[in-house]
Amino acid sequence: MPRPDLRRHLPAFLTIVGAPLLIALVYGRPYLNYDAAYALVWANDIANGWTPDYEGFIAPTPHPLQTFVSFLALPLGNLTVGVLAWIVMFAFGGLIWVTYRLGEELFNRPVGVLAAIVILTRPAFAKNATAAYQDIPFILFVVWALLVEVRQPRRGWPVLVLLTLAGLLRPEGWMLAGLYWLYLFPARGWRDRIWLALLAAAGPVLWALSDWAVTGDLLHSFHGTSDLAAQLDRPRKPEEAPFWTLKFLGWTLREPLILGVPIGCVFVALYARRQAKILLGVAALMTAFFIATTFGGLPLIARYVLTPTVLLAIVYAAGVFGWRDLPAGERARETWKWIGGLSLALSIVFIPWHVGLIGDQARKIENYGSIQRDLRQVANSPTVDDYFLRCGRISTNNHRPVPAFRFELDGPPGSVMTQADEAHPLAETILYPLNRAVALKYYNQVPSLTPPAGYATVYTSKAWRLYASPRCRAAVKAGVTPPNVDRD
């Protein structure tokens, strides 16, 4: 028999471990998305003494904590990619657990359970967890901080530590830390105020210093994110923000919750004012921050509203089971029991539709994951390694494979570059998808798959093909390095 203290922690352990395993079973193995692959390749650059290419073509925004964790995982060798992907998956399991605990703390156990089930079953969350987006641990830190504060108001430094960690993954953490410090200010002496101010400022200061160390620009992440949004033609105009915010929230919550959340809002407004201030207040702050960033030219992206979605999921669950906290015998309890049952029934009716959505998302995840596994196979080929050693830089016809392929090759910045949009000159060797189907799966488009004149196939895998120029092929055949080869 497990000891009492172990039994007490068993539900948390089973959730944190079991939920990711269930997600992997339904959706497929986790992998590193484009941003996470860049964080890993930048960590590898630092380990090798190279300056990370934060300013490379279509380089994403660097997130200091993600790069640091990637750096710590480098000694794991071939296990590094998998371990980093599973860290985010287990963070998702942790998010499900703290969502349950927050719902239980604010209302009751059924509310917590239903809110956790909602997060577990949203395809948008599964997509971001299996792709190892930094937004998942960010949300975990924010919701965890909220749980700590709810359990002991004005807790202070433990909450700020969690928000500082969140602020090293997304800038919303800076805003929350700053506002929390202002909330603590009246009840603290000057010694605590100064110490807590330093803690609240740690996120943006460390982020700016990391940008400055690499690029010489304290605000590189702000400038780079804005420039990249323009380059990729992402929505970022303030007048577009309300439309995209509502669309993203609806896309994340899905159909029955779009109706159920307003029901929950009415319930908490009437019968749970304190909970309404906490959940709706923080959700409104983060949504307002999301909209306000457009005035700085920053993009509107769906995963940026995932944190408010978690809080709204608890509001939805309160609309279903919050009646249990009302006094027995009151008419309102019976009324909301029926309203809550109707709200839950709507979710059940939509289950067959959601199963189809899950299937579609699972196929996309498997596509991306399999393509990246194939990139590792290409990079580990002795033939490819020989051509890379002799002929230097490799070109691709799209930016997506660049970070993952460069990490697998263990090449320095500039050793794998894209020729898309004439971003860089053509290299002596080029990597193209094997066929249109592969290009469509991974790129969502089909660039030209015809190699330049004179280039011939030197290696083929089930998903990729490597071409080499006549000069490069002759050099490899002779076992020499071509003169003036472009390596970076």
pLDDT for 223 equals 84
pLDDT for 366 equals 79
pLDDT for 483 equals 65
The answer to whether residues 470 and 429 touch, using CB atoms and an 8 Å cutoff, is no
Residues of the chain with pLDDT under 70: 1-5, 353-354, 483-488
pLDDT for 374 equals 87
pLDDT for 486 equals 58
Which tens digit of pLDDT belongs to each residue from 270-302?
999 999 999 999 999 999 999 998 888 888 888
pLDDT for 347 equals 80
For residue 92, which of 124, 67, 65, 70 has the smallest C-alpha distance?
Answer: 124
pLDDT for 465 equals 93
pLDDT for 2 equals 55
pLDDT for 252 equals 86
pLDDT for 256 equals 75
Which tens digit of pLDDT belongs to each residue from 84-110?
999 999 999 999 999 999 999 999 999
Q: What is the 3-state secondary structure (H, E, C) of the chain?
A: CCCHHHHHHHHHHHHHHHHHHHHHHHHCCCCCCHHHHHHHHHHHHHHCCCCCCCCCCCCCCCCHHHHHHHHHHHHHHHHHHHHHHHHHHHHHHHHHHHHHHHHHHHCCHHHHHHHHHHHHHCHHHHHHHHCCCCHHHHHHHHHHHHHHHHHCCCCCHHHHHHHHHHHCCCCHHHHHHHHHHHHHHHHCCHHHHHHHHHHHHHHHHHHHHHHHHHHCCCCHHHHHHHHHHHHCCCCCCHHHHHHHHHHHHHHHHCHHHHHHHHHHHHHHHHHCHHHHHHHHHHHHHHHHHHHHHHHHCCCCCHHHHHHHHHHHHHHHHHHHHHHHHCCCCCHHHHHHHHHHHHHHHHHHHCHHHHHHHHHHHHHHHHHHHHHHHHHHHHHCCHHHHHHHHHHCCEEECCCCCHHHHHHHHCCCCCCEEECHHHCCCCCCEEEEECCHHHHHHHHCCCCCCCCCCCCEEEEECCCEEEEECHHHHHHHHHCCCCCCCCCC
pLDDT for 372 equals 77
pLDDT for 3 equals 64
Q: Spell out the domain ranges in the chain.
A: 4-349, 365-478
